[in-house]
Structure 1
Amino acid sequence: MEYLALPPGLVTTTTAALACGVQPATIRDWVRRGLLARVGGTPKRPIYRLRDVLAARDAPKPSSVSQRAQNPA
C-alpha cells in the first residue's frame, strides 16, 4: 500500500526510483550505503526528501571493486 498523499517535497521509495530512473532496490542500496537518509514513514514504507534523493543520485559512487576496497563506507 502506498501513501494517499505526502507533503510537497517528500517521496516514497517507488517515486524516488522513478525520479532518478533507477530501480527501487537502488534507492534502498543508497540508504544502506549512507548516501540517502529516511525522513519518516515506517520501516517498510520509508519516506525521503526529494532533494536528498536527487543529491544521492548525483553523488560520486565507486565504479569498481578496487575503489570500494580503498574507500570503505
Structure 2
Amino acid sequence: MSGETTSNQVTMLEGQSSGVSKLNVNGDENCGIDYEMELIRKIVERTKKGSPVFQNVQRILDTMDEDEI
C-alpha cells in the first residue's frame, strides 16, 4: 500500500464529518460545535491533500503491516 490517501479513506472521513453536522444542539453548545466542525473540515481537507502528518502515520501503519506478515 502506498503512502497516498485512498478514495475509501477520504469517503470514510467525509462520512464521519457529515455525521457531526446532524447533531442537535442548543445556543451555548453551538459555538463549541461550530469550532469542532471547522476543525474536522480542516482535517478532512488536509487529508485529501495528503498532509505530511497523515503520510507519516500511513507509512508507520504500512511498516507495521509488513512486519506482521
TM-score of the pair, normalised by structure 1? 0.26
Query: Greater share of helix residues, 1 or 2?
Result: 2
Q: How does the TM-score come out when normalised to structure 2?
A: 0.27
Considering fraction of residues, name the structure with more strand: 1
Work out which of the two has the higher radius of gyration on C-alpha atoms and give 1 or 2.
2
